[in-house]
Structure 1
């Protein structure tokens, strides 16, 4: 076990702070029978692949292969299961719950697959991945669209991922742009690697800087990255650090220059022997969601658990 570090991420989430000092292997928990629970409204019987939440916590975009739309393409697996191409679905927070997700319109969705949604600071601009039939001729596959009173605007290239990187993609997992629109994180497997790593870039006065492999990347698989609103914590998914099995969610504390000072496993209330990834939360931390084994789970901020699995990079 590597040297323990201070567990600060809980303070960010809940306005309270539990800390592990070096040598302390105890855990602190607020009793709550529903600390982490399946969100049956947002989830379906099909796969939920990626999530985005608006900074104000009022809108969620889900990448899902639940199908049911006129444009969907069906696939039958060897096990005779029916799968559909992935679409983007939207749900809004009304009263004290999420509305039933509805598909975004055709034009954003297509008969191919759409994935990796990102919502802007205002919540009305959407970045996403689309393997539509024209992506090579329209500077795809990453696009953006703006939600206006009359509906969503025609999609245009996001121009965020350069063509030379797209040519080297073995697999792409997740895109995230920080709520202040100043940093971006992309999780993808590029030639010659077969596993996905986290890449990052920053916006300067001249535009976006060159993408660089992030120091959090391991020889294992990374799946997603999410930066807290204050820029102090980076939540990510990986199977390259000690965990509970499969992909686990971790929180990295960052210094003022964005370098990692410590990494903490988010604990057994969040992580299981399955795959957890795509942690997202509202700017104030009042709403938090993640994906576990293709379903969407929600976290009550009064239920966070500190854990002793802390690492220094």
Structure 2
């Protein structure tokens, strides 16, 4: 009753925004299979829609503390969750399929890297198996930590977060270009980097808009998702994404557009209900933000 009264007191625009936010949230992804009692972070669906991969920090079964997992679609449900064979005894995290399904990108601090967390990719074979993970090289890997790699739809660009290439502060967002052999020449994503941590970004509207995570200190402070629109030179009009659980006190991160359903997005957070555990994977309508061209290097 009290909630109904509160909503009735809202003015027209505020009530409409609240209704839109609620309608945009489809619910939890893979209850008990993908989303469990532990922490599941940053999920990505393959282009054919038949499997989902994600990272978990505390799920039994993998060789390390942070592992990559996958499940398959059977009778419209995610089933048979298994750790990926490309996991190492180190940390493996932040998976994302390329738009053509040929590659799985992720980060790892496994032996043989260039320092801290490095960016890797593994080939995805036609039978669903994975090739040997390959380090993406010095063009995008520094002596610091790189997170959350995401390739553009055409494969020409790679967006990621790093604290090792200079920038405005802690982790910043960068975009590197493919030169035919490797991703090189990382440049700051214009307009979004601050003295805080910016990371976990996904392009919207063909790169003309952006959704990304920001925290004053990702290790100790809340994490919130923001949406920005390109004004032709930089991303601006930055505002919190209106998901009900994307609050200034919580932890909401890991947005990845479902390439099999481009109007939908997977996001990590903790809703009051439905809820499986600590951090869960949720599905929502992708933000409808639109911007201008000009924000890619």
1:184 pairs, out of 158, 161, 167, with 158
1:112 is displaced (CA, Å) by 1.2
SS in 2 for 1:230: helix
Q: 1:57 to 1:248 in 2, by over 3 A?
A: farther
Q: 1:209 to 1:155 in 2, by over 3 A?
A: closer
> Structure 2 CA distance, aligned partners of 1:191 and 1:233?
23
Give the number of equivalent residue pairs: 257
Note if 1:94 corresponds to 2:74.
yes
Note if 1:290 corresponds to 2:267.
yes
Whether the 8 Å CA contact 2:174–2:188 is kept in 1: the answer is yes
> Structure 2 CA distance, aligned partners of 1:120 and 1:174?
13
Equivalences for 1:76-91 in 2 at 5 Å?
85-91=65-71
1:186 is displaced (CA, Å) by 1.2
Q: Counterpart of 1:51?
A: 43
Equivalences for 1:175-214 in 2 at 5 Å?
175-190=149-164, 195-203=170-178, 208-214=183-189
Q: Counterpart of 1:38?
A: 28
> Structure 2 CA distance, aligned partners of 1:65 and 1:122?
27
Q: Which runs of 5+ in 1 are unaligned?
A: 1-23, 74-84, 308-313
SS in 1 for 2:124: strand
SS in 2 for 1:99: strand
Q: Counterpart of 1:66?
A: 58
> Structure 2 CA distance, aligned partners of 1:263 and 1:210?
26
Q: Counterpart of 1:252?
A: 228
1:131 is displaced (CA, Å) by 2.2
SS in 2 for 1:135: coil
1:63 is displaced (CA, Å) by 1.2
4+ runs deviating over 6 angstroms: 191-194, 304-307
1:268 is displaced (CA, Å) by 4.5
Which TM-score applies when normalising by structure 2? 0.72
Whether the 8 Å CA contact 2:53–2:68 is kept in 1: the answer is yes
1:89 is displaced (CA, Å) by 0.6
1:110 is displaced (CA, Å) by 1.2
Note if 1:266 corresponds to 2:246.
no
Q: Counterpart of 1:8?
A: none
1:222 pairs, out of 182, 198, 222, with 198
Whether the 8 Å CA contact 1:48–1:291 is kept in 2: the answer is yes
RMSD: 3.4
1:117 is displaced (CA, Å) by 1.5
C-alpha distance after superposition, 1:183-228 (max 9, x if no partner): 2111122377772111122335686441122221112222310113
Q: Which runs of 5+ in 2 are unaligned?
A: 1-12, 271-277, 290-297
Q: 1:53 to 1:229 in 2, by over 3 A?
A: farther
1:128 pairs, out of 106, 126, 139, with 106
Whether the 8 Å CA contact 1:36–1:297 is kept in 2: the answer is no
Q: 1:250 to 1:95 in 2, by over 3 A?
A: farther
Note if 1:144 corresponds to 2:136.
no
SS in 1 for 2:142: helix
